[in-house]
C-alpha cells in the first residue's frame, strides 16, 4: 500500500464530514484511511464511524458487481467535485463549493456489499494530538504517511500529485505542497515557493506562512520510525519539532500547487492556540526535542562546510540544492521566539521563563519594530491590547446594528 492517511479527531463534529469526504474522493486510490478519535465528546466519532461504514459498503462490492453498477447505485452523488484551486494573479483561490459526495445506500444494496475495508476508526482516551497521530501510525501499513487535521480538507488530486512528487524526488525525507488559507472573504494561497528542493529553515524564515504544514505534508514510514514520531506532550508546535528533526537529516521537497485547505474559519474555542500552554507543552520551550540543546546544529554546521550538493541524477530538476546552515536555523528559531513568546513575556506566571528564551535571541538581527515592542513597558502593552479589544468589540456591535437596520 502506498499511503496511510492519518486523521486525529477531537471534538470537530461540524468539520469532520468534509475532511473525510475529501479523502474518500481522491483520484488516487492506493491508500488506507485511519481516524483516531482522541476522546471526543461532541459526537465527532459517531459521525466519522457512520461515514466509514457507508464508504465500506460502497467500496467493498462483491465480485457479482462491477464498477459501473456501483456508480449506478451511487448515481450523481459519486461523481465528486471537479472544483480545483484556482490561483489568481492576486493570490486568491476558490474553495470547493461542496463536499465531494454524500454516502447513501438501501438495505438491499448494502447486502450485496462486503464490509472489508482498510479504512477504520480507532478510539482512545484523550491523550493529545501527538499521541493520536502516533496511535494511527502504529496501525498503518502504508509506505508513506499523510496527515490531515479533522477541520481541514484536500483537493481530489492531492494524493495523485504527491505520489508524482515522491517519484520525482525519491531521496527526500519530507514532502509538502502549497495550500490555501480558507476563510469566507479572505481566502488566499499561502506560499509562493518554486517546486523542488527547499532550504526548510530559510524558506520558513523568509515566508509569512509555514512551508511545511501538517495537512499538506507526507513522510516515508521509515523516516517517521527513525525520528520516533511526534513528540508526546507538546500541544503547540509538535509538528514543527518533527519536521525540523527530519530537515536536519534529509532533503525537503515542495510542490507549488495549492492542493490542501487550511480552515481558518474555526471558532476560537476549538483552536489549539486559544490559551497559553504550559511551557512543557510548547515547542518554543522544548526546542531540545528537535535540536538537542544546540549540539545538533553545531554538528550539522561542522559537517556541512559546503552550502550546496549536487542533485541526484534520477530527479528532473537541474542545478544544485541549497543546504540549510546553522545560521539559517538560528534565524528561524529567533523569529519564532520573538513572535511566539510575547504573551508569555507579558504574563506574571511565565515571564521569567520567557525572558530566558528571549535572552538567546540575536537581537541585532531583529527588526526595529520588534525591538521597540519588547522595550515597551508590559503595563503599556496590556493597555494597548485592551484598547484594541474594546475597539474590535465596538466595531462588531456597530456592524450588527447597521445590518439590523438594513433588514428593517
**For the chain, which residues make up each domain, given as ranges?**
3-285, 291-377, 378-408
pTM: 0.78
As given in the structure block, the three cell numbers for residue 27 are: 483520484
What does the pLDDT read at residue 60?
A: 57
Cα dist from 362 to 154, 195, 200, 296, 371, whole Å? 39, 31, 20, 19, 11
Cα 328 versus chain centre, distance: 22
Q: What is the DSSP string of 389-407?
A: HHHHHHHHHHHHHHHHHHH
DSSP string, 37-105: EES-SSSHHHHHHHHHHHHHHHH-B-TTS-HHHHHHHHGGGGS---------TTS--PPPSS-S-----
30-77: per-residue pLDDT in tens?
999 999 999 999 999 999 999 998 887 776 533 333 344 434 433 443
H-type alpha helices, 172-260: 200-206, 221-227, 238-247
Give the distance between the most distant pair of CA atoms in the chain: 75
The SS3 assignment for 179 reads strand
Sign of the torsion formed by the C-alpha atoms of 27, 28, 33 and 38: negative
352 burial type by CB count under 10 A (0-12 exposed, 13-18 middle, 19+ buried): exposed
Is the separation of the CB atoms in 40 and 10 below 8 Å? yes
pLDDT recorded at residue 90: 40
pLDDT recorded at residue 281: 86
Query: Three-state SS for 121?
Result: strand
Can you tell me the distance from the alpha carbon of 360 to that of 358, in angstroms, rounded to the nearest whole number?
5
What does the pLDDT look like over 368-404, one tens digit per residue? Answer: 999 999 999 999 988 988 898 888 889 888 888 888 8
For position 117, what pLDDT does the model report?
61
Q: What is the number of other CB atoms lying within 10 angstroms of the CB of residue 397?
A: 10
Closest to 5 (Cα-Cα) out of 139, 103, 104, 124: 139
Give phi and psi for 146, each to the nearest 5. Answer: -115, 140
Mean pLDDT by 10 residues, the chain (408 residues): 93 95 95 96 94 78 38 39 38 39 31 52 94 96 97 97 96 96 89 94 91 96 96 91 94 96 77 70 87 60 40 40 87 92 91 92 92 91 88 86 82
Residue bearing cell 462486503: 114
Specify the DSSP element, H or E, that contains 147.
Answer: strand 144-147
Q: What is the pLDDT of residue 399?
A: 86
> Torsions phi, psi of 112, nearest 5?
-95, 5
- Fold of the 3-285 domain: Spore Coat Polysaccharide Biosynthesis Protein SpsA; Chain A (3.90.550)
Q: Can you give the pLDDT at residue 270?
A: 56
pLDDT value, residue 245? 94
Task: Report the pLDDT value the prediction gives residue 235, as an integer from 0 to 100.
Answer: 87
Q: Given this model, what pLDDT does residue 77 score?
A: 36
Contact status, residue 36 vs residue 67, Cβ threshold 8 Å: no
Residue 406 in grid coordinates: 438594513
Burial class (CB in 10 A: 0-12, 13-18, 19+), 372: exposed
From CA 278, how far away is CA 74, in angstroms rounded?
49
The grid cell for 192 is 509562493
Annotate 331-386 with DSSP letters as a single string. Answer: HHHHHHHHHHSHHHHHSTTTHHHHHHHHTTS-GGGS-HHHHHHHHS-HHHHHHHHH
How far is the CA of 159 from the CAs of 73, 97, 146, 175, 289, in angstroms? 26, 20, 9, 12, 30
Which residues, in sequence order, are CB contacts of 397 under 8 Å at separation 6+? none
pLDDT at residue 271 in the model = 57
What pLDDT sits at residue 34?
96
Nearest CA-CA partner of 139 in 122, 127, 155, 117: 122
Helix axes 295-303, 326-340, angle to 10 degrees: 150
pLDDT for 177: 97
Amino acid at each position: 500500500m502506498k499511503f496511510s492517511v492519518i486523521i486525529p479527531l477531537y471534538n470537530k463534529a461540524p468539520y469532520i464530514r468534509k475532511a473525510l469526504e475529501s479523502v474518500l474522493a481522491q483520484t488516487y486510490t492506493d491508500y488506507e484511511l485511519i481516524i483516531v478519535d482522541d476522546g471526543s465528546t461532541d459526537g465527532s466519532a459517531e459521525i466519522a464511524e457512520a461515514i466509514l461504514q457507508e464508504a465500506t459498503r460502497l467500496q467493498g462490492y462483491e465480485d457479482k458487481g462491477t464498477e459501473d453498477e456501483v456508480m449506478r447505485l451511487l448515481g450523481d452523488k459519486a461523481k465528486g467535485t471537479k472544483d480545483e484551486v484556482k490561483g489568481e494573479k492576486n493570490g486568491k483561490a476558490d474553495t470547493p463549493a461542496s463536499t465531494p459526495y454524500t454516502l447513501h445506500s438501501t438495505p438491499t444494496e448494502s447486502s450485496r456489499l462486503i464490509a472489508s475495508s482498510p479504512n477504520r476508526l480507532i478510539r482512545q482516551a484523550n491523550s493529545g494530538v501527538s499521541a493520536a497521530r502516533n496511535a494511527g501510525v502504529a496501525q498503518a501499513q502504508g509506505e508513506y504517511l499523510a496527515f490531515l487535521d479533522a477541520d481541514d480538507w484536500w483537493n481530489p488530486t492531492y494524493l495523485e500529485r504527491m505520489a508524482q512528487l515522491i517519484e520525482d524526488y525519491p531521496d527526500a525525507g519530507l514532502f509538502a505542497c502549497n495550500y490555501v488559507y480558507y476563510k469566507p472573504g479572505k481566502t488566499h494561497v499561502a506560499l509562493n515557493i518554486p517546486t523542488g528542493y527547499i532550504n526548510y529553515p530559510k524558506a520558513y524564515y523568509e515566508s509569512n506562512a509555514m512551508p511545511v504544514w501538517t495537512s499538506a505534508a507526507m513522510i516515508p514510514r521509515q523516516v517517521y520510525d527513525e525520528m520516533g514520531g511526534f513528540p508526546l506532550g507538546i500541544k503547540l508546535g509538535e509538528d514543527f519539532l518533527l519536521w525540523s528533526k527530519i530537515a536536519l537529516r534529509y532533503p525537503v521537497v515542495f510542490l507549488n500547487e495549492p492542493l490542501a485547505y487550511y480552515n481558518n474559519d474555526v471558532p476560537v474555542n476549538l483552536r489549539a492556540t486559544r490559551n497559553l500552554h504550559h511551557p512543557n507543552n510548547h515547542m518554543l520551550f522544548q526546542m531540545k526535542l528537535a535540536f538537542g540543546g544546540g549540539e545538533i546544529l553545531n554538528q550539522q554546521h561542522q559537517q556541512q562546510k559546503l552550502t550546496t550538493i549536487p542533485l541526484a541524477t534520477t530527479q528532473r530538476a537541474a542545478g544544485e540544492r541549497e543546504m540549510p546552515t546553522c545560521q539559517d536555523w538560528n534565524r528561524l528559531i529567533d523569529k519564532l521566539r520573538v513572535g511566539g513568546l510575547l504573551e508569555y513575556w507579558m504574563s506574571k506566571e511565565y515571564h521569567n521563563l520567557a525572558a530566558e528564551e528571549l535572552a538567546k535571541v540575536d537581537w541585532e538581527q531583529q527588526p526595529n519594530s520588534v525591538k521597540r515592542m519588547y522595550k515597551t513597558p508590559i503595563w503599556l502593552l496590556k493597555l494597548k491590547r485592551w484598547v484594541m479589544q474594546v475597539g474590535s468589540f465596538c466595531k462588531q456591535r456597530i456592524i450588527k446594528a447597521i445590518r439590523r437596520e438594513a433588514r428593517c
